[in-house]
Structure 1
């Protein structure tokens, strides 16, 4: 981690006056895999960074990230501002502009106070220090209640990740912002995609996809890639993605839905997604209501058929449906749900060997309060 440097500044973007700008300096032009939101209303920095990665051959020497302003829906001016941010960093570090990525997160539709941002970049570059994951995570936070970061070491291998996100969390991409680093050679793209699928692309807070979602794995070392690297990267990504669910705006519970014994994996994933994004299921979980009807209704709402005369459903280890409604102690199960922050739901389709798990948060009063007051 000592090879990765950071600089933090207060650029006056956040009304709170807290740190809102982060510059990351890598030891050289590092190979990287990135993925971005598929939202067609993508923010200017997303478009700019995709262009830079294409131009550089997926090599990154530095990144600049601002919080408090998404620089989205800001027209041609927004793209110019992202470009100015990237080129400012490149000039100060004397590196090719194509090797600088730009990220933003915050309110949509407001122009960046670009003069303040450029001054903040200069301050951050002139005050570099060894990357501190907690400080970096705080600098890019918006409605987050706590910083999100993780570290893993296995023999000589290490991987670490920091990110942010609490609302507008729904995959395809999946998190707001998350950055993972490893001191090995770059993992194969298929391994990156696999980790993405199991972590940031299998979480949900509110079913709302962000315009700025970005996730990357950056290789800053030359150790041979191995299973230990994969396991470390997966571990830190899993931890950070779980933190995002835990910090879901107003969330009180983390729910895991596992769909098993599906005929194909896609079916298991689609059904798990339908359950995880159902507001009726989410509100039932908030109310500690073992409402199996809402869960099965969501499961049956996809393009993939399920057989009510075959499926079974467990909530926190209690069987609540098995080819037909069955008797269970609803009051006791509700009390168990009420006392736990983690709820497990298992839907058995009883038709094949494939499975998929999804993590999501409940939905309560606080989510409405936060988002009613979070305005442009």
Structure 2
């Protein structure tokens, strides 16, 4: 799965082409942090290709089976030599260990404060799914600024992996947002080694549940570690007609600067949420809309209710809080993870390139 941004970084373009050329087979993933290799023109494509060729030569595999990823600042030439000169010692130290997995998770971070790792056993420990992610800013549905690598020892075809990954992303990485910006480099990659000799077809239900659990954990870790984030908000959209309108309303609320800054101050200013719902583009009936903060109804039928403002403030002051919207239109429900917007977010992004 890749970014939906029409401005696409060289490694995403190269990676897409490599998956087609190799029939979905990947022998190695090479990731650099600090440079997105985006908006770098022909030179950026040559640089990406050169790194993959060098990696393939050392691993004695085909360049089309080396998958590249980059994350960092846009518009700066990729320092190919700096990467290629470190490949040999990097590969010589490679091993299958928890320590190396954690080192990889640390190495791919940018403005993240913490590495993101999740794992779940299957078949009584005979197989597993493990995920590593990075992401902190430019987090928005369709995928968010993230690099996510999901690894399993289950045996599966590329087609089987694509099918389960698409469904899982819709209910994990595509229902989160920090700031509403979509990156040029987003990638979610699911790789299966087959080492366990257990076929995905035989354990599909368990595999889908395990993959969902790992991806939801990583998505939540990304949101909690968002740039400048003080408060994670579980935004529940209830009684929508369908997923499309539930997402449309959730995203409008989650991207409202007035709503996000109110959450930064733990201010139960529910009118801002109601206004966002009204301009979402969904043809709803305001008389059926209700809002709940924590366990207090603050608005019913788009009319103010008496509620304990201090209790609502206390709820929103927690590291994690819950806001519920009832639309009175149908039976579809959706949980959307989002955050506040703080002065620290402004500081990080005002100084990012300088």
TM-score range, shorter chain: over 0.9
- Contact preservation (8 Å) 2:137, 2:145: no
- Match status 1:223 vs 2:198: yes
Q: State the 1:361 CA deviation.
A: 1.4
- Contact preservation (8 Å) 1:133, 1:161: no
- Match status 1:354 vs 2:332: yes
Match of 2:40 in 1: 74
Match of 2:141 in 1: 171
CA distance in structure 2 between the partners assigned to 1:133 and 1:232 by the alignment: 19
Match of 1:151 in 2: 119
- Match status 1:100 vs 2:75: no
Aligned mate of 1:137, from 105, 123, 126: 105
Change (3 A) 1:188 1:212: closer
Match of 1:53 in 2: 19
- Match status 1:331 vs 2:299: no
Q: State the 1:188 CA deviation.
A: 5.2
Unmatched tracts of structure 2, length 5 or more: none
CA distance in structure 1 between the partners assigned to 2:145 and 2:219 by the alignment: 7
Higher mean C-alpha deviation, range 185-194 or range 60-69: 185-194
Q: Which has the higher helix share?
A: 2
- Match status 1:315 vs 2:293: yes
CA distance in structure 2 between the partners assigned to 1:63 and 1:198 by the alignment: 25
- Contact preservation (8 Å) 2:14, 2:68: yes
- Match status 1:120 vs 2:93: no
Q: What TM-score do you get using the length of structure 1 for normalisation?
A: 0.88
What is the aligned-residue RMSD (CA, Å)?
Answer: 1.3
Aligned mate of 2:10, from 41, 44, 51: 44
* 1:42-75 Cα distance to aligned partner (Å, 9 max, x none): 1111111011011111111111000011111111
* 1:343-368 Cα distance to aligned partner (Å, 9 max, x none): 11111111211122110111111001
CA distance in structure 1 between the partners assigned to 2:127 and 2:236 by the alignment: 31
Matches within 5 A, 1:156-305: 156-186=126-156, 187=160, 189-221=162-194, 222-225=197-200, 226=203, 227-305=205-283
SS at match of 1:374: coil
* 1:90-112 Cα distance to aligned partner (Å, 9 max, x none): 11111111111100001111111
CA distance in structure 1 between the partners assigned to 2:120 and 2:44 by the alignment: 37
CA distance in structure 2 between the partners assigned to 1:81 and 1:282 by the alignment: 40
Q: State the 1:256 CA deviation.
A: 1.1
- Contact preservation (8 Å) 2:11, 2:69: yes
Q: State the 1:191 CA deviation.
A: 2.6
Q: State the 1:173 CA deviation.
A: 2.1
CA distance in structure 1 between the partners assigned to 2:281 and 2:347 by the alignment: 34
Match of 1:91 in 2: 57
* 1:179-223 Cα distance to aligned partner (Å, 9 max, x none): 111122334534321210111111111111111110011111231
- Match status 1:111 vs 2:77: yes
Q: State the 1:299 CA deviation.
A: 1.6
* 1:265-302 Cα distance to aligned partner (Å, 9 max, x none): 21111111111122211111111011111112112222
Change (3 A) 1:185 1:296: farther
* 1:214-264 Cα distance to aligned partner (Å, 9 max, x none): 001111123122222112111111111111101111100110111111112
Q: What TM-score do you get using the length of structure 2 for normalisation?
A: 0.93
SS at match of 1:184: coil
Structure 1 runs (4+) deviating above 4 angstroms are none
- Contact preservation (8 Å) 1:174, 1:202: no
